[in-house]
Amino acid sequence: MLHLLQRGERLNYVLDRIYADVESLAATEFGQPNPEIRRPPKGSEAIYAVPCFQYAKEKDTNPIKLAEGLSAKWNQGLQAGSLIERFEPARGYVNVFVDQKTLLARILKDLLDYGEKYGSYPKLNKTMVVDYCSPNIAKPLSVGHLRSTIIGQALINILRARGYRVVGINFMGDWGTQFGKLIYAFEQWGNEKKLEDEPIQHLLELYVRFHKEAKENPALEDEGRAAFKRLQQGGEKERALWQRFRESSLEAFEKTVARLGVKFDHNWFESEFEERACELVNELLAKGIAEESEGAIIIRFRPLLPAESPEPPPAQPPLVIRKSDGTTLYPTRDLASAVERIERFQPVHRLLYAVASEQTLYFSQLWNVLEEMRKRGFFKHAKINQPGILKYIPFGMVSLPTGKISTREGRIVYLDELLDEAERRAAQIIAEKNPDMPDARRKEVARKVGIGAVIYADLSQDRIKDIVFDWSKMLAFEGNSAPYLQYAAVRCARILAKASPEDRKCLEEPKDADIPRMVEEIKEPQSIELLMALGRFPQAIAEAAERYAPHALASYLYDLATALSRFYTEVPVLKAKTNTARLARLTLIEATGRVLRRGLALLGIETPEQM
């Protein structure tokens, strides 16, 4: 388990308070600010475990004896009123125990006190800037854009719940010779009506045609470069066309990502940073960070701490930031945009870039440039104390099983096509399971189930792994899938709908005085397991935020849904023998449904009202 809490923050949840107490003891003993704390394996009554192996190695002592000594020492120091009941050694670990009824009562109180906001943390006064999606204009979004878009949006949602101020940026490529080629192609073969009706598809056709024609007539490459030069110089006709391409592209992008529940905070274009990039080159020369080489301006690198895995290359080539003809490149404009983010969104804690793992070298270079700039006092108007303000969030590739989507041989699969296919397949399954559902409702449920299946198939796996979509697993109503979690939440709502008006009123107006009586009725192993799982929701959010790992939250939600299934199978709810037992169990059902819906929403997944 990682360091989940931040120095000085207000602790709202009982498991966080216990965690903080254990962390303080271990930090004092080990002389480390963030000692490792783990959650014991399933079946253990302990709630945390402190491993002693590393500290024992440093002190050249036996970890088993060290754990025994620490347990005895910490037990002697327990204060009256502490939530911790005792410490026990176990094979080199110090296990932490609490009084179960006290803990269950505190978790239940947290659930009732925070209601729909349960799981959220107080504001941290730290800003995270997330770069995600970030396509080139004039081309449709493809399946290749899926992971950056949904990983980035999930991180934005999770980090906001963790208390960060988060800014999401879609940084679009709209500058370079390829746009001169597109301008020339439209002037030669463009169709105004097609540009109005299907702008992205028409622009893609023109771009493909240009390259096909250029194979036969290489002089067209010069025409494209000339058109881009006129665009750079502010040519009125070229600027007007290029602006239309940008506006049409953005409108199409936003329409597609809206299907995934994504809405960008800011849409930035690469071209907007051309002037600042030129200034930046001169500033980097003046600071001695950049140098001239054969007419070009480059930045050389010493071996420094690289970006996140995969393994970094043994040596970094220099980064070219201005060509010998005086023009800047994409890295220069990207760097200029990074500087703008740091200065505009103060105080910036991290710049996050959700980009495929193929770009490891480039982001290692960008990390090193920003770090050198920080060391040399480049950011005069922004307070940056910590090293490594840039955080690269790499992810693996996505692929589709052969023949699963009907498309022309060899053509890129567009994101809209994938989402259409997911909705179509979901509609078939829902029609089979619920043939009496009205068409309009079935269509809406299919949208939520199909899109949710696509999102969860990605986010339920470690982002660094390559993924292959398997429709049968993605859309299964059993196992680790979005439909399984959505169905669990719907089941909770269905149970609550069957409760009596008196019981529903008690749920809507909970009283602290009811908590001790309800805890007395939470005695079955399945009931205790479910309430303990609910208590871990805030920490699941904190862990996902700390690790930039949406799959940590997805894994938690699956465990919660599984605990609900065991509870629902073994413990009668509406037919409980006493009013208090029924209220306690309905409270667990209501809280579970609420946490499932909230957790899925953080991943960007909607929950249908029925399935």
3-class secondary structure for 151-203? HHHHHHHHHHHCCCEEEEEEEEECCCHHHHHHHHHHHHHCCHHHHHHCHHHHH
Structure confidence at residue 7 (pLDDT)? 63
Longest distance between any two alpha carbons in the chain, whole Å? 87
Which pairs count as long-range contacts for 82-88, CB under 8 Å and 24+ apart, including other chains?
82/21, 83/14, 83/17, 83/18, 83/21, 84/18, 84/21, 84/22, 88/46
**d(Cα 362, Cα 466) in Å, to the nearest integer?**
20
**d(Cα 7, Cα 10) in Å, to the nearest integer?**
9
- The DSSP letter of residue 326 is S
Partners of 131 in the β-ladder: 169, 353
What radius of gyration do the chain's Cα atoms show? Answer: 28
Q: How far is CA 167 from CA 61, 172, 263, 527, in A?
A: 48, 16, 11, 40
* Token pair in block for residue 380: 């005069």
**d(Cα 470, Cα 460) in Å, to the nearest integer?**
13
Centre a 10 Å sphere on the Cβ of residue 301 and count the other Cβ atoms it contains: 16
Per run of 10 residues, the mean pLDDT along the chain (length 611 residues) is 61 91 94 90 90 92 95 93 93 96 95 94 94 94 93 98 97 95 96 92 93 94 95 94 95 96 96 96 95 94 54 73 93 96 91 94 93 86 74 89 47 86 94 92 96 96 90 87 96 96 89 92 96 97 96 98 97 94 96 98 96 85
For the chain, give the number of residues: 611
Q: How far is CA 92 from CA 43, 59, 158, in A?
A: 18, 14, 34
* Token pair in block for residue 511: 């009283």
**d(Cα 611, Cα 596) in Å, to the nearest integer?**
15
**d(Cα 164, Cα 122) in Å, to the nearest integer?**
9
**d(Cα 133, Cα 152) in Å, to the nearest integer?**
8
**d(Cα 590, Cα 57) in Å, to the nearest integer?**
47
Contact 349, 162 (CB under 8 A): no
**Residue closest to 393 by CA, chosen among 149, 611, 570:** 149
Contact 134, 155 (CB under 8 A): no
3-state secondary structure of 365: helix
**d(Cα 194, Cα 203) in Å, to the nearest integer?**
9
Segment (H or E) for 558: helix 550-570
Contact 6, 124 (CB under 8 A): yes
Structure confidence at residue 474 (pLDDT)? 87
- The DSSP letter of residue 115 is G
Cα 40 to its chain centre, rounded Å, is 26
Structure confidence at residue 306 (pLDDT)? 46
- The DSSP letter of residue 385 is -
**d(Cα 160, Cα 601) in Å, to the nearest integer?**
12
Structure confidence at residue 67 (pLDDT)? 96
- Tell me whether strands 266-269 and 165-172 are parallel, antiparallel or unpaired: parallel
* Token pair in block for residue 383: 């307070």
Structure confidence at residue 611 (pLDDT)? 85
**Residue closest to 133 by CA, chosen among 176, 171, 173:** 171
Domain spans in the chain, listed from the N-terminal domain onward: 14-98, 177-262, 268-395, 425-602
CATH homologous superfamily of 268-395 equals HUPs (3.40.50.620)
**d(Cα 240, Cα 421) in Å, to the nearest integer?**
36
Specify the amino acid at residue 74: W
Note if the bond before 310 is cis, omega within 30 degrees.
Answer: yes
Contact 229, 180 (CB under 8 A): yes
Structure confidence at residue 298 (pLDDT)? 96
Contact 187, 582 (CB under 8 A): no
Q: 14-98 sits in which CATH class?
A: alpha beta
**d(Cα 571, Cα 398) in Å, to the nearest integer?**
41
Contacting residues for 195 by C-beta, under 8 A, at least 6 apart: 186, 202, 203, 244, 248
Region of 8 please: left (phi>0), alpha (psi -120 to 50) or beta: left
Q: What is the CATH number of domain 425-602?
A: 1.10.730.10
**Residue closest to 379 by CA, chosen among 411, 350, 346:** 346
